[in-house]
Chain A
């Protein structure tokens, strides 16, 4: 199986990708419509919550965090695989990433934007959110630099701005192709402006490569640090179930895991909707599936390490919490999380399912369900069974407002993503050309050595 056919003409690549900007399948509009409807639900819930107070989410006094924080971590986590594909695999010269990294990087950007919204939705007084920014002011009041939440805000902001930059810089040669091939209209004007006068000269390519590589190198430590810092929100606190040293690597592994699963989902959707069958090939799907399986095992390992260290440790409160997770109110969700996160990925172990689209689609959704539950199972049980027995609370249940906003966030993400894919090329044209070129070079080399061997034989 080949990652890509080596005899695709370059003009054909341009044509196929540009077609995705104009002529997707009908399913595109269905997805977009559903996504916008979901956003409507979330906006309604948020307006209600904003006007009435956070009480409508059915929070209570010891149980002050809920689905918002859990879903926030989920979206932050989702963003990590875009960077994995676009930056880490770029440095490792993995050619197969080329047709799929663009949409993965877009996924990074949009899931970060979604996560950022959850910070706002979660706050009691969102209109004062700027208090958390270190802006110089007359009163000399600063945010608290000791708070992991502040590190969080800064890390996410840095990661988001770098991701947007990375996405944009990597797109410039493609934007020039769009500019050159579009009929006059608003699109042509847009591409002309943002292609920044790209002509494809040697000097431009050299500068482009250096810039791209620099941002890639900058982004990798950033990606790791962002989720480590989100983990610090919990690990730096004192609460049982949160105060765990292994949280930062555990969170990063979980992030890559849910991100890779989301890439599989979006891969399958985009492949169909934009008719990218030639570019998003089964061979590439197989490679992401294997990568996801490997990360799933890392996550499972770290999860087991956490359980074991709590079980054999001396922290009675943490142990009590672990037992409550497995047997208490949250038990169905906790077991579901372990099942989806550690058992379901074994389907990926079988070769025949690795390229089976319906199976992989449902598996990827289940994996992400598991990862969402994981975040919820980190946040909520600690409030239900914390240190202080008097405040143990097993009845708290998120109201429709919390569920509605969480539900709508998926619509918000899908909406941004779908609009992006319709306006910007979601397959990197110039890199696919490179890939085709590399492959044809390799084939030629193979043929040449084959010939040489044949003539060598003849000489004897």
Chain B
């Protein structure tokens, strides 16, 4: 029986390629991040720690690069000769880009990371054996490995702090890979609610933790298939298309005035996160 699964239906278990393949229906979760609005306050990162039970690794492990921030704020200093505190900086919130043709998915030897039908790059902790090939092949390096057994490590969640752990999210043990899930626990709840009421998830019904915490509303999350969703409208306004490895607007002579772009588009991972370039002066 299981051999027949392998021979006949194997492709069913693989991800859907964005080019010339079955389109997502009825959901394709995507994001739009406005860098002009981002003030680099790190609220999104903190919210992510709280929502997704991320271990707080402490100063020493942070210095070793073993930090587990699924959502990180990257800070790029201006190089215009000014010194801190007058020096300006630009910020880039970076999390898993939920690529449609994800480089991490094809290389996992055990298939622990897969594409869901609604376009999220899922990670199955129980299946992961910790070969870390996915992280090696990720162009954005947004996958985080549990180098230590954090739940039993002192001061990760000191007594009573463990009571604030989110019951909807697994606490990961040592030796597994993890990354941003687009708050899949919230998405699943919303989808289930919608299903019981015989409708589709409404725009704005699901918010990711980072989106919810963002004081400037720089992050928009939603269903890209729904033509009335905010995220769809933003992608459309910026003329960014999911299944392109180079956008038509950028191929036009003289480029485009529009701000929308996706990181490492030319590598063809078809990321689901669109960024909008910063146009203001750097924040100080």
The one of B14, B132, B264 that contacts A387, using a Cβ cutoff of 8 Å: B264
Residues of B within 8 A of A191 (CB): none
The one of A65, A124, A144 that contacts B111, using a Cβ cutoff of 8 Å: A144
Residues of A within 8 A of B208 (CB): none
Q: A53-B174, A125-B175, A238-B139 are in contact. Are A142 and B10 (CB under 8 A)?
A: yes
Give residues of chain A (41-73) contacting chain B, Cβ–Cβ below 8 Å.
52-55, 58-65
A110 lies within 8 A of chain B by Cβ: no
- Report B120-151 CB contacts with A as 1/0, cut-off 8 Å: 00000001111111011101110111111100
A128 lies within 8 A of chain B by Cβ: yes
By the criterion CB–CB under 8 Å, are A238 and B103 in contact? yes
Give residues of chain B (1-45) contacting chain A, Cβ–Cβ below 8 Å.
1-3, 5-6, 10, 13-14
Given contacts A64-B132, A124-B130, A128-B129, 4 further A-B contacts (CB under 8 A): A54-B147, A59-B66, A140-B5, A236-B107
A49 to B248: give the CA distance in the assembly, Å.
Answer: 51
Residues of A within 8 A of B143 (CB): 61
A149 to B107: give the CA distance in the assembly, Å.
Answer: 7
The one of B3, B65, B109 that contacts A144, using a Cβ cutoff of 8 Å: B109
The distance from the CB of B102 to the nearest CB of chain A, in whole angstroms, is 11
A396 to B64: give the CA distance in the assembly, Å.
Answer: 8
The distance from the CB of A176 to the nearest CB of chain B, in whole angstroms, is 42
By the criterion CB–CB under 8 Å, are B135 and A143 in contact? no
The one of B13, B131, B175 that contacts A53, using a Cβ cutoff of 8 Å: B175
Give residues of chain A (369-422) contacting chain B, Cβ–Cβ below 8 Å.
383, 386-388, 390-391, 393, 395-396
| Chain B residue, CB-CB nearest to A151 | B109
The one of A61, A141, A150 that contacts B145, using a Cβ cutoff of 8 Å: A61
Chain B residues within 8 Å of A, Cβ to Cβ = 1-3, 5-6, 10, 13-14, 61, 64-68, 74, 92, 94, 103, 106-111, 127-133, 135-137, 139-141, 143-149, 174-177, 264, 267
- Report A223-265 CB contacts with B as 1/0, cut-off 8 Å: 0000000000100111100000000000000000000000000
By the criterion CB–CB under 8 Å, are B111 and A143 in contact? yes
Chain A residues within 8 Å of B, Cβ to Cβ = 52-55, 58-65, 122-126, 128-129, 131-132, 134, 136-138, 140-150, 153, 233, 236-239, 383, 386-388, 390-391, 393, 395-396
Which of A125, A128, A237 has the largest number of chain B CB atoms within 10 A? A125
A309 to B61: give the CA distance in the assembly, Å.
Answer: 39
By the criterion CB–CB under 8 Å, are A53 and B149 in contact? yes
The distance from the CB of B57 to the nearest CB of chain A, in whole angstroms, is 9
By the criterion CB–CB under 8 Å, are B147 and A143 in contact? no
| Chain A residue, CB-CB nearest to B268 | A238
Residues of B within 8 A of A391 (CB): 141
Which of B65, B135, B149 has the largest number of chain A CB atoms within 10 A? B65
Q: A125-B175, A390-B74 are in contact. Are A53 and B133 (CB under 8 A)?
A: no
Among all A-B residue pairs, the 6 with the closest Cβ atoms: A124-B130, A60-B65, A124-B175, A55-B147, A144-B111, A125-B175
Residues of A within 8 A of B147 (CB): 53-55, 59-60
Residues of A within 8 A of B174 (CB): 53-54, 124-125
By the criterion CB–CB under 8 Å, are B135 and A125 in contact? no
The distance from the CB of A232 to the nearest CB of chain B, in whole angstroms, is 10
The one of B6, B137, B146 that contacts A142, using a Cβ cutoff of 8 Å: B6
| Chain A residue, CB-CB nearest to B177 | A124
A126 to B140: give the CA distance in the assembly, Å.
Answer: 26
By the criterion CB–CB under 8 Å, are A148 and B130 in contact? no
A148 to B107: give the CA distance in the assembly, Å.
Answer: 6
By the criterion CB–CB under 8 Å, are A141 and B127 in contact? yes
The one of B103, B141, B145 that contacts A237, using a Cβ cutoff of 8 Å: B103
By the criterion CB–CB under 8 Å, are A147 and B108 in contact? yes
Q: A143-B110, A147-B107 are in contact. Are A63 and B65 (CB under 8 A)?
A: yes
Q: A54-B130, A390-B94 are in contact. Are A132 and B109 (CB under 8 A)?
A: yes
| Chain B residue, CB-CB nearest to A390 | B74
A146 to B67: give the CA distance in the assembly, Å.
Answer: 30
The one of B6, B74, B92, B267 that contacts A238, using a Cβ cutoff of 8 Å: B267
| Chain A residue, CB-CB nearest to B175 | A124
A59 to B144: give the CA distance in the assembly, Å.
Answer: 11
By the criterion CB–CB under 8 Å, are A237 and B107 in contact? yes
A64 to B175: give the CA distance in the assembly, Å.
Answer: 12
Residues of A within 8 A of B137 (CB): 237-239
Q: A125-B128, A136-B3, A142-B5 are in contact. Are A64 and B145 (CB under 8 A)?
A: yes
A123 to B147: give the CA distance in the assembly, Å.
Answer: 11
A128 to B127: give the CA distance in the assembly, Å.
Answer: 8
By the criterion CB–CB under 8 Å, are B65 and A125 in contact? no
By the criterion CB–CB under 8 Å, are B130 and A61 in contact? no
The one of B65, B110, B267 that contacts A132, using a Cβ cutoff of 8 Å: B110
A-B contact pairs, 17 of them (CB 8 A): A54-B147, A55-B147, A60-B147, A61-B65, A61-B143, A61-B145, A62-B141, A64-B132, A64-B136, A125-B176, A129-B129, A132-B109, A136-B3, A144-B109, A146-B107, A149-B133, A396-B65
Residues of B within 8 A of A237 (CB): 103, 107, 133, 136-137
